[in-house]
Each structure stands twice: as structure tokens, then as C-alpha cells.
Amino acid sequence: MSNVNNPHSQPAEGQHGAPAPRLALLVVSLVVLVLVVLGIVGVLRRKQSATVLAERTTEMAPPTVNVAAPKQGAPTAEFILPGNVTAFTDAPIYAHADGYISRWYFDLGSRVKKGALLAEIAAPERDQELQQAEQALVSAQATAKNAQMQAARYSDLVKTNAVSQQDTDNWLNQANATTASVRSAEANVRRLRELQAYEKVYAPFDGVITGRSIDTGQLVSSGTATQMFHLQAIETLRVYANVPQAYSQSVKKGMKVGLTFLEHPGKTFTGTLVRTASAIDPASRTLLVEIDVDNHAGGLLPGSMAQVHFKTATIVQSYIVPMPAIIFRSEGLRLGTVVKDEKGNEIAHLVPITIGQDDGATVQIVSGIGANDRVIQDPPDSLVDGEKVRVVHPAANGKPNAKAKENED
């Protein structure tokens, strides 16, 4: 009863309950603020880590290379270039008639003479066309003969006014027209006979069958769609080499050149320089030369690689580098060196070289580098010209020095 009649009991309860919502709102605001601050700090740290990682990745991206100056070798009067060996005459043989292969006579590796029958093509449609054309020629000749006889007869009768001049002129015109028809039929017969002759495929020169792509019953068509045989003349071989511009005046037509091959160790073949391109290739700065070598014994194979030994007119300085430093590219031999670009960065520079003597472990360089060049000793296969590199300078004991080791770490 006292609680009900006390007029101050309700307001006292409202005064104690009013601060509660404000306190809760304050707590929630503080929690949200803390979360926002933590999120911002996390984003900044992640961004800084990504930046550091990118910088570290960029720093470690260039390949690490070991460089050294080339060793000075003995002066030499000879330089060696790679040479491509090709057949003196090389011809793919295609069909010039549509039909089926009825028979072939020579297989891979066979030696053939010029004019030898290589294969026969069965073309019954073409044969029927020829027979039809020959019969049409006989008919045209008979018609022309009759027209000529009538024209001659009317020419005699018109003199006595036995026939009209118009009838005579008609037979004369018919004789001329049928004569033209005969010539046309004869030309068609010759055309079909020539096409029929292509049903037999002959060797165009003496050589060796180095490829056969047909078999009995195979359908072939006229053109370059199906190569029947590949024929190469190998009694004399052509060897092509690219002579650097610096030695272009040392090579002369008629000079004798030594040739060595990996498959003939210790043996040197002699070839004759028969012609040059008479112009320097602006892309490679080299002079293309052709050397012919006798191969009647059949010991050399077209498509192989030769080492061509040229004698120089003057003694040149040579340098010695390890064999692993040589880079083999499709455009020729290259040597990797390290130079600085306009920003001071160390980059790789691939230079074309000419080699001299080769003992398997080291190779003699007679053109392409100098004594002060920094040669990459064991370049990676993926090295490209202009690529940024990290240089390691070996100490006297052959291990990286402290500075290089620190850079690697």
C-alpha cells in the first residue's frame, strides 16, 4: 500500500533508466570505430606488403649471370664457320595427271638415272577422252576431204558455166571451214596425248630417291597437293656458309676450302668456292658463299652440318672462352656479354661470333669480341638481347664474393 500511495516512486524509476540507451549507443560507436581503425591498418599493411613483394620480385626477376673477361689466345690465320650441306639439285616430284597409282618402281634410297620410269598413273577417263578425240578427228578429216573434193569439182565446172558461182563459193567456204575443224581436232588430240603421257612419271635427272609418298591404288590429282617422290642429286653437294663482313675480302672464287664433319672425325674434305652473293646481307652483315664438294663416293649426306675452314689473308687476334658460353641460335652462333644501358642498368648483349679451333672444352673466337668484354660464362637458354641481368663476379677461389653473396641473399 505504501508503494502505491507514494507519489515520488515512478519518477525515481524513470531517472535511473534514462542513461541506459545512451551508454549502449556509445559502446556500439566505440566498437565500430575500433573495427574501422583495425580495417584501415590492415589494408595499409597489406598494401605495403604487396609493394614490398612487387619490389622484391622485380629485383629478383633478372637472371643471375657469371661474367669474366675472355682469355687472349694465339694469333690465327684461319676461321671456322658452320655450313649447310644441300644437294646440288633438289626437286619434289608431283603428279600432272588425275588418276590412281597403278604401279611404282623405286623406293626410298634408290639411285635412278635420268629418264627412269618412277611410277604409272591409271586414268581411264582421260584414255576415253583421247579415243573420242581421235574418232572426232577421223570424222573431221573425212568431212574436210569431201568438201575439198566438191570445191575442186565446182571450181572446174564453173569455168564452163555448168554450175553457179554461188554454189562454187559455198563449197570453197565449206572446204576452208572443215580444214579449220581438222586443225582444231588435231590440236585436241595432241593435247590429250600429252596429258596421257603424264600418266607415266619419269626421273628428271640422275639422283637418289629421298622420299616416297605414294602407294598402289592411291588417288592423286594434278598439282602440288600430293608429292609423289623427292629426288636429290648428291654426286656433287653444295655447302653454304655466311662469312662475316670483316673477312669478306679474304674469300675468293676458286679458292680451296677444308670441310670437316662430326660423322667423319679426323677426316678433312676439300671443296671449291664457286660463287658468292656479291652483296653483304644487311640483317646479319655477312656474305653468303657456296662451296661445291665432290661426293661420288657417297660418304656425305645432304642436310648435314659442316665445319668450313677458311684461310685469312692476315693474322688476327683470337680469344678463348669456355664452350658452355656459346649460345646456339637459328640465326647463328652468339656470345652473351654484359653492357650498361643509358640508365646505368646492366643488360645482356648477344653478339654474333666467328669461331676458330675447338677442343671440346674451350673454343677460339676470332671475330665478335674484344679483350675488355664481359662474357657470360654459362648463359641461360632463355637469355634475350637487352634483358636486364644480375652480375655475379667470382672471387679467386671460384666462389661468389661477399658483395655478390649479399645481393643473392
Q: 118-158 pLDDT, tens per residue?
A: 999 998 888 888 888 888 888 888 888 888 888 887 787 77
User: For the packed helices 165-197 and 124-157, what is the interaxial angle rounded to 10 degrees?
Assistant: 160
With a CB cutoff of 8 Å and minimum separation 6, the contacts of 239 are 83, 84, 85, 86, 259, 271, 290, 291, 292, 293, 306, 308
Q: What is the pLDDT of residue 157?
A: 79
Assign 399 a pLDDT band (cuts: 50, 70, 90): low
Q: What is the pLDDT of residue 13?
A: 46
Q: What is the pLDDT of residue 166?
A: 84
Q: What is the pLDDT of residue 409?
A: 44
Assign 54 a pLDDT band (cuts: 50, 70, 90): low
CA distance linking residue 66 with residue 407, whole number of Å: 13
- Amino acid letter at 135? Q
Name which of 391, 340, 322 is nearest 400 in CA terms: 391
Could you tell me if 366 and 377 lie in one domain? Answer: yes
Q: Report if residue 264 sits inside a domain.
A: yes
Could you tell me if 304 and 327 lie in one domain? Answer: no
Backbone angles phi, psi at 225, to 5 degrees: -70, -35
Residue 361 DSSP class: S
CA distance linking residue 144 with residue 179, whole number of Å: 6
Q: Specify the CATH number for the domain of residue 133.
A: 1.10.287.470
Please state the rounded mean pLDDT for residues 259-264. 93
Q: Specify the CATH number for the domain of residue 348.
A: 2.40.420.20
In order, the DSSP letters of 210-227 are EEE---TT-EE-SSSSSE
Q: What is the pLDDT of residue 25?
A: 79
The yes-or-no verdict on residue 308 having pLDDT over 60 is: yes
Could you tell me if 310 and 377 lie in one domain? Answer: no
Boundary-marking domain end, from 288, 315, 342: 315
Q: What is the pLDDT of residue 271?
A: 95
Q: Specify the CATH number for the domain of residue 278.
A: 2.40.30.170
List the single range of 35-44, 248-257, 361-370 with lowest mean pLDDT.
Answer: 35-44
Assign 397 a pLDDT band (cuts: 50, 70, 90): very low
Q: What is the pLDDT of residue 218?
A: 92
Q: Report if residue 399 sits inside a domain.
A: yes
How large a percentage of the chain has pLDDT more than 70?
A: 87
| Cβ atoms < 10 Å from Cβ of 238 | 20
Could you tell me if 262 and 307 lie in one domain? Answer: yes
Query: If you average pLDDT over every residue of the chain, what do you get?
Result: 83
List the single range of 106-115, 127-136, 149-158, 235-244 with lowest mean pLDDT.
Answer: 149-158
CA distance linking residue 151 with residue 209, whole number of Å: 60
Q: Do 313 and 243 contact (CB within 8 A), yes or no?
A: no
Q: Report if residue 30 sits inside a domain.
A: no
State the pTM of this model.
0.59
Assign 50 a pLDDT band (cuts: 50, 70, 90): low
352-357: long-range contacts (C-beta < 8 A, 24 or more apart)? 352/244, 352/284, 352/285, 353/326, 354/79, 354/80, 354/81, 354/244, 354/247, 355/79, 355/80, 355/81, 355/326, 356/73, 356/76, 356/78, 356/79, 356/80, 356/318, 357/76, 357/78, 357/80
Q: Do 267 and 47 contact (CB within 8 A), yes or no?
A: no
Boundary-marking domain end, from 315, 344, 363: 315
Q: Structural domain of residue 397, as residue ranges?
A: 64-74+318-408
**Chain centroid offset of residue 345 CA:** 34
Backbone angles phi, psi at 69, to 5 degrees: -75, 145
| Cβ atoms < 10 Å from Cβ of 368 | 18
Q: Report if residue 212 sits inside a domain.
A: no
- Amino acid letter at 125? E
Q: Report if residue 51 sits inside a domain.
A: no
Assign 394 a pLDDT band (cuts: 50, 70, 90): low
Q: Report if residue 379 sits inside a domain.
A: yes
Q: What is the pLDDT of residue 390?
A: 86
Q: Do 232 and 207 contact (CB within 8 A), yes or no?
A: yes
Q: Report if residue 246 sits inside a domain.
A: yes
Boundary-marking domain end, from 279, 298, 315: 315
Q: What is the pLDDT of residue 396?
A: 46
Q: What is the pLDDT of residue 404?
A: 44
Q: What is the pLDDT of residue 270?
A: 95
Number of domains in the chain: 3
Could you tell me if 378 and 306 lie in one domain? Answer: no
The yes-or-no verdict on residue 406 having pLDDT over 70 is: no
Q: Report if residue 107 sits inside a domain.
A: no
C-alpha torsion 271→277→278→279, nearest 10: -130
Backbone angles phi, psi at 193, to 5 degrees: -65, -40
Q: What is the pLDDT of residue 64?
A: 85
Could you tell me if 143 and 162 lie in one domain? Answer: yes
Could you tell me if 290 and 340 lie in one domain? Answer: no
